[in-house]
Amino acid sequence: MLNYNQPIKEQKTYQGLQMSEINPVMKLIIRGKKREFLSAVGKSLNMVLPTKANTSTQSEKLTALWLSPDEWMIFSNSVVKENTNTYGTETLLNKNICKLNLGAVIDVTDQFVRITLKGDKIYDLFQTGSPFNFNEFRYKIGSVTQTIIAKVDVIIHNQNQNEVNLFVRRSFSEHLFSWMNDSASRL
Amino acid sequence: MFLINCPFCGEREQSEFKAGGEAHIERPKQPTELSDDEWAEFLFMRKNIKGVQFERWNHAHGCRKWFNIARDTSNDQIKAVYKMGEKPPVK
């Protein structure tokens, strides 16, 4: 974690909705097309990457989100030790993927901010600013989508019933969070 | 406003996409041998017809992949969606 400043400093609570940042969490983007890439990632992390569109897979320590046919995001389920900038997972993937020219591994820990939303009003909030149809998404635990909320690009992961992870670029996170607070106060 | 069925992500709203202009325009094999008029024809001239047109689209706010669609420009109906490199469906 290079940047120790949390862009979102407080937890906000509304009726049926809670929002806060989870920090620091390791986040990686991995890209690759070959079949060897998929099996190398599977062997290194001891988990299968989701190949079906808009889905995710989870192991004890990591979650992998499908972003595109050749792109995945991997993040750690629990918070990592704060004063570190190197991650075992990244080093392992660098060795087993980048060095063998199978694909690319990029550390995006500082690029993305993970906001967690809890409560039964999450999708009412999203509906106020997103063109995505959440009707099926909300009942499929583990589903993932990339879409826009209030013109900001986001990755949304349905973690559990009434519990959602939202990934947004750091530079947009403060604005999006304040927009969501404004919108949530009027639900 | 209309829905586009992204071949990778499924049906999404148009505002998630960016239009990339007419599809299946082949770059001349020997650009240096072309006259200015022929080069301008390749570079700038587009069909812009009323009816079914083949277009490139990019799912900019989703999977960021390019693909082609056949769209009726008069009523925004999408007749077909197909991946890059695939042949256009016959009208």
**Structural domain boundaries of chain A?**
10-24+111-187, 26-108
pLDDT, tens digit (0-9, with 9 covering 90-100), for B69-83? 999 999 999 999 999
Is B16's CB within 8 Å of A145's CB? no
Q: What is the pLDDT of residue B41?
A: 94
Find the helix or strand (DSSP H, E) in which A183 lies.
helix A170-184
Task: Give pairs for A128-131: CB < 8 Å, separation 24+.
Answer: A128/A183, A128/A187, A129/A179, A129/A183, A131/B12, A131/B13, A131/B15, A131/B16
Which chain A residues are within 8 Å of B66, Cβ to Cβ? Answer: none
Chain B nearest CA to A129, separation (Å):
12
Is A148's CB within 8 Å of B9's CB? no
CATH class of A26-108: alpha beta
Query: What is the reported pTM?
Result: 0.91
Q: What is the mean pLDDT of residues A13-20?
A: 94
Is A146's CB within 8 Å of B62's CB? yes
Say whether residue B72 is in contact with chain A using an 8 A CB cutoff.
Answer: no
Q: What is the mean pLDDT of residues A34-41?
A: 93
Which chain B residues are within 8 Å of A131, Cβ to Cβ? Answer: 12-13, 15-16
Residue of B6, B4, B15, B1 whose CA lies nearest to B61: B15
Residue of A12, A6, A9, A45 whose CA lies nearest to A24: A6
ipTM: 0.87
Which chain B residues are within 8 Å of A137, Cβ to Cβ? Answer: none
Is A146's CB within 8 Å of B65's CB? no
pLDDT, tens digit (0-9, with 9 covering 90-100), for A72-103? 999 999 988 777 778 889 999 999 999 999 99
Predicted confidence (pLDDT) at residue B90 exceeds the cutoff of 90: no
Is B13's CB within 8 Å of A67's CB? no
pLDDT, tens digit (0-9, with 9 covering 90-100), for A129-165? 999 999 999 999 999 999 999 999 999 999 999 999 9
CATH homologous superfamily, domain A10-24+111-187: Probable tRNA modification gtpase trme; domain 1 (3.30.1360.120)
Q: What is the mean pLDDT of residues A15-42?
A: 93
Which chain B residues are within 8 Å of A67, Cβ to Cβ? Answer: 63
Predicted confidence (pLDDT) at residue B21 exceeds the cutoff of 80: yes
Residue ranges of domains in chain B, CATH in brackets: 3-83 (3.30.2270.10)
Q: Which of A54, A131, A146 sits opposite B13 (nearest CB)?
A: A131
Q: How far separated are the first and last CA of chain A, in Å rounded?
A: 35
Say whether residue B15 is in contact with chain A using an 8 A CB cutoff.
Answer: yes
Say whether residue B30 is in contact with chain A using an 8 A CB cutoff.
Answer: no
